[in-house]
């Protein structure tokens, strides 16, 4: 099987070299670009399996690159992990809603970055998590087929919307979703979910999930995430 190919778009040459080195060491094929324009053209040419995209790029910024990638058929399916700086929460939210799958905040350890790269590639290979299979997460079991939630073997009563929010988040542990993405995922015919009401749903869920309430984490300024590695 051919090695996975990863395109890194980053204008800081030291960081680019470090990421390049670590990806190679992990057995990936690596392409690099120092500008958004070059990154876009390389993405089209080499069709990478994954793109690491710095948001703060000169001239064409990372969000514009992300928008372009997602707008074009030939690159729209390539997963994108954003490389961001602290304080870029608004941009992170925008990027996730544009279709980036994840982000890593600088400074990051190579180990963390490699773990996220692996997770993104694995996720792309499976595209599961929102099906009908039971989700077992720590002391929590979510059974979509029966609309049932069990905590340490005891059933928990949730509203329909709460159930959908939980099923959505628990389907991809470790991934951050914005309020807007959650609204889109759980949109029901009977009940209008707004970005504002997501917070209310989460608060209710945490209360009802009791000992498992902490499984749903708030990611400040960005959204919510179901805890990984329970
Ligand atoms: Ca930069």
Query: To the nearest whole percent, how much of the chain has pLDDT over 70?
Result: 94
Distance 57 CA to ligand 1 centre (A): 5
What is the pTM (predicted TM-score) of this model? Answer: 0.77
Angle made by CA atoms 2, 72, 105, in degrees to the nearest 5? 70
The rounded Å distance from CA 53 to ligand 1 centre is 9
Least-confidence region, from 61-70, 87-96, 127-136, 157-166: 127-136
Backbone angles phi, psi at 221, to 5 degrees: 75, -5
Task: Kindly give the distance from the C-alpha atom of residue 118 to the centroid of ligand 1, in angstroms, as a whole number.
Answer: 23
Query: What's the rounded mean pLDDT across residues 171-199?
Result: 83
**Tens of pLDDT, residues 141-162:** 999 988 999 999 999 999 988 9
Q: What is the mean pLDDT of residues 118-131?
A: 70
Q: Which domains does the chain have, with CATH numbers?
A: 5-128 (3.40.50.2300), 132-226 (1.10.10.10)
Distance 16 CA to ligand 1 centre (A): 10
How many CB atoms within 10 Å of residue 52? 25
């Amino acid at each position: 099987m051919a090695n996975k190919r990863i395109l890194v778009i980053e204008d800081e040459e030291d960081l680019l070299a470090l990421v390049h080195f670590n990806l190679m060491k992990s057995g990936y094929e690596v392409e690099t670009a120092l500008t958004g324009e070059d990154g876009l053209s390389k993405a089209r040419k080499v069709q990478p399996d994954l793109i690491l995209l710095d948001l703060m790029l000169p001239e064409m910024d990372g969000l514009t690159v992300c928008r372009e990638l997602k707008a074009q058929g030939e690159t729209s399916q390539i997963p994108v992990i954003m490389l961001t700086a602290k304080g870029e929460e608004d941009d992170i939210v925008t990027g996730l809603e544009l279709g980036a799958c994840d982000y890593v905040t600088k400074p990051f350890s190579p180990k963390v970055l490699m773990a996220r790269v692996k997770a993104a590639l694995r996720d792309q290979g499976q595209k599961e998590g929102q099906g009908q299979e039971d989700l077992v997460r720590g002391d929590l079991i979510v059974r979509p087929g029966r609309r049932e939630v069990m905590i340490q073997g005891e059933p928990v009563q949730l509203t329909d919307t709460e159930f959908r929010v939980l099923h959505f988040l628990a389907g991809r542990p470790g991934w951050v979703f914005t309020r807007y993405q959650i609204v889109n995922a759980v949109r029901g015919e009977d009940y209008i979910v707004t970005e504002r009401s997501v917070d209310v749903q989460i608060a209710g869920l945490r209360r009802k999930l009791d000992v498992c309430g902490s499984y749903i984490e708030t990611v400040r300024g960005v959204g919510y995430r179901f805890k990984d590695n329970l």
